Amino acid sequence: MVNEIAKLLEERSLILDETPDDERVDLLSEKIRASLALHQDSLAVEFIIESLTKLGSAPSILYDDNGHFTIGGDGSQNLPTIGDDHKTQETTFQGCWFVKAGGWKKTIREALRDYFESRE
């Protein structure tokens, strides 16, 4: 399934580069999201998160220091300014994510499942 999704992502990227307004971009995005959601239990979490970012989503894994995780997708943050020497410079940023009260889960996998369910 990883290879199939990767091929769809590549196809979408090529179309997007050529003709950004092509309706196939949206159709492929929907197909990819559906495949990620359907196969989320067998796909690596990092593959799912990275694939979602390629579709324009910004999922963020958050931890509450009490053993609970959520995946925030709605929120805001400032963009840190990074100089030429970004590998040695420290940067900070502030972020704010909107999380529903029942959105905190005991595992990242459960949080991911909730993320997909809340976007159906």
Q: What is the pLDDT of residues 53-110, one digit of tens each?
A: 999 998 989 999 999 999 987 667 666 666 666 566 666 767 788 888 888 999 999 9
Q: What is the pLDDT of residues 23-58, one digit of tens each?
A: 999 999 999 999 999 999 999 999 999 999 999 998
Tell me the domain boundaries of the chain.
1-57, 58-120
pLDDT at 86: 59
Q: What are phi and psi of 88, to 5 degrees?
A: -115, -15
- Average pLDDT over the chain reads 89
Tokens 């970004």 correspond to 86
How wide is the angle at C-alpha 80 spanned by C-alphas 74 and 84, nearest 5°? 145
CB atoms within 10 A of CB 71: 25
pTM: 0.84
